[in-house]
A and B are shown apart, each in its own frame.
Chain A
Amino acid sequence: MATVELRDIRKTYSDEEIIKGVSLTIHDREFVVFVGPSGCGKSTLLRMIAGLEDISAGELLIDGVRANEKGPAERGLAMVFQSYALYPHMNVYRNMEFSLRLAGMPVAERRQRIADVARILQLEPYLDHKPGQLSGGQRQRVAIGRAIVRNPKVFLFDEPLSNLDAALRGQMRVELATLHRRLGATTIYVTHDQVEAMTMADRIVVLRKGVVEQIGTPLDLYHRPRNLFVAQFMGSPTMNVLPAHIVSVTDHAATVTTGPLTVTVPVDAGSLQPGAAVTLGVRPEHIGLDVAGAPQGLVEISERLGAATLLHVRLSDGRQIVVQTGGDNMNAPDSAVGVTPDPAHCHLFDADGAALDRLAAHPLQVGS
């Protein structure tokens, strides 16, 4: 059992508020990812939970007990740092043993634990190597091993994969997810990479400038972003956003127009009247190519990914959108195409960037 509860946590550095009141409950065995652009305060928030930074205001509860005043070691958490922070003069075994030795655990028990962890992480051949003799991925595993041997209540990760190359990152992502399933430990994971967030999280917390923008499951955030920021931050390639005007409104839909496109989006338009300025958001994978109709734009660049093709289309009003089509799409640059956004997957945002309630639910979506 390990839960973490944040109650209106704030952090102030010399008059400047970096974390502006975060409240959140992390359940037992949950994998929660803090995601947001660089400098939004993810690390600061994580370090406050770890006990490496003082909490300026608010309350932190671990397993229901106030932990604000507890030291980092007393909180029973383990952290994996971005730089790995391995002890360079100790070999892999000693690195993993350090916390156990300080805790006064008997030698035989230490050896047993380290052997178990080394087996899980495939580190057995490297136990007497120094960190300097290991590759990035191996160092990463040692850092994780050092966290696991302590048998912590909660794992904290601060951008653990950002020093790895793309291939290794993908591999470590799967390893971490497997490890989490196996150990079932409560985990808080910080990243600026929305792919990591989408693929690993049970729940994602999107942060911007010290404020929580939205909390939800990956598909929640993908299908029902609460505002323009979340909509554009989550999902790859990025959602197309186009300034638009409302043409007409019914109870269960709003028709908008932008450049050559007119879409009837199933949303609750609320008090918005025809003529109001809105933003239309539609992901590249939710735009189809219309072969029959009149062309609405020119293909400028086609990025061929193999499995899919990303067409960068210049619309007749000069705006550019990205359309994701099949890998076998034959459109070359300069070919004229018609584009049709799927209305059920369109998003509308009001002038403040807040999303209008979508009325079409996605079949996979778990109620929020």
Chain B
Amino acid sequence: MDQAARRIPVAAPVGRPSHARRTGGALLLSPAVILLLIWSLVPLAMTLWYSVRRYNLVDPTQVGFAGASNYVYLLTDPDFITALLNTAILVGGVLVITVGLGTLLAVLFDQSFLGRGIARVLVISPFFVMPTVSALLWKNLMLHPIYGVYSAMMRAVGLTPVDWLSRYPLATLVMIVSWEWLPFAILILLTAIQSLDAEQKEAARMDGAGPLAQFRYIILPHLSRAITVVIMIETIFLLAVFAEISVTTAGGPGVASTNLAFLIYSRALLQFDVGGASAGGVVAIVIANIVAAFLLRAVARNLEA
């Protein structure tokens, strides 16, 4: 009893320096934190502010509060629903293709074959091409209905060339963006495959697992973490695909290939409706956060195991 009573005053001074140290630490951290806050909070606040304002760049008479009308106008706009759907298709399509194909190719590139080093460099190289450049490359060099490589190939076998970007704009965009992101998926997944313990595969062989069973029960579970990481990183970037759309289809025909990012751009800088664009921006932030929350939870669970 006596001892316990005496211990309390001893404990108190221990707490005080650590408290002081914490304030000191916070003080030293503050420039970085404040800079970051300005960096992200000010644009966010301005977006929120504009989204409830009447604000059109070509009509200075439109001023004052709009209330929720910018949001109502946006959410009831059929273009917005289309853009939302297009975003989902673009993100989902590219994810399926890059992760699916990426896993298969990673397994293939893990085998030893002649010229594997060169092949690996080649398969990674699209990642180093800028989005605008690769979009131009696909649009003019590969898919152009008159002098594109694919058109030439189709003509060579007697088929009529297809104007891919106007006939199947969204599917073509999915293809182009997948081409850009496949190397990333392969890179991550190949590294992950190479960390698989060779004795595990041998144990599976002894247990009677053929190549398919090994893939299904050994390699795929081993890759699950890397796959989650690929999905998360790609999703963040794919939600904001812009350059490819701007260069190839400009969101068209109509709004057939307009995603959320491009819709906001077209509202603000093609229709000069800053208020409406800001409302779109806020909606995009909300969506991105919902997706991020789901992904983070999935990743956290996967990394824990």
Residues in A lying within 8 Å of B, measured CB to CB: 50-52, 71-73, 77-79, 81-83, 85-90, 98-99, 102-103, 146, 150
Contacts and interface: CB of A to CB of B under 8 A. Distances in A.
A235 B305 CA distance: 46
A102 B209 contact: yes
Contact of B217 (A81, A83, A87, A103): A87
A99 B197 contact: no
Contacts of A81: 199, 202-203
Given A73-B208, A87-B200, A102 B213 contact: yes
Contacts of A103: 208
Interface in B192-229: 197, 199-200, 202-209, 213, 217-218, 221-222, 224
Nearest to B207: A99
**Closest 10 pairs between A and B when the two form their complex, measured CB to CB:** A73-B208, A99-B207, A85-B199, A85-B203, A89-B221, A102-B208, A81-B199, A85-B200, A72-B205, A72-B206
B217 A99 contact: no
Nearest to B305: A89
The bracket for how many chain B residues form the interface is 10 to 19
Nearest to B221: A89
10 contacts: A79-B206, A82-B199, A85-B199, A86-B200, A88-B200, A88-B222, A89-B224, A90-B221, A98-B217, A102-B209
Which of B205, B221, B224 has its CB near the most chain A CB atoms (within 10 A)?
B205
A8 B213 CA distance: 34
B44 to A, nearest CB: 41
A73 B202 contact: no
Which of B199, B205, B208 has its CB near the most chain A CB atoms (within 10 A)?
B208
A50 to B, nearest CB: 7
A87 B218 contact: yes
Interface of B: 197, 199-200, 202-209, 213, 217-218, 221-222, 224, 305
Given A85-B197, A87-B217, A98-B217, A52 B205 contact: yes
B190 to A, nearest CB: 20
Contact of A78 (B197, B200, B202, B206): B206
B221 A79 contact: no
B207 to A, nearest CB: 4
Given A89-B222, A98-B217, A50 B197 contact: no
A176 to B, nearest CB: 19
A41 to B, nearest CB: 17
Given A89-B222, A98-B217, A102-B209, A83 B197 contact: yes
A102 B207 contact: yes
Contact of A73 (B205, B221, B224): B205
Nearest to B199: A85
B141 to A, nearest CB: 44
A225 to B, nearest CB: 33
Contacts of B197: 83, 85
Contacts of B204: 87, 98
Contacts of B202: 52, 72, 79, 81, 85
B222 A73 contact: no
Nearest to B213: A102
Contacts of B217: 87, 98
Contacts of A86: 200, 203
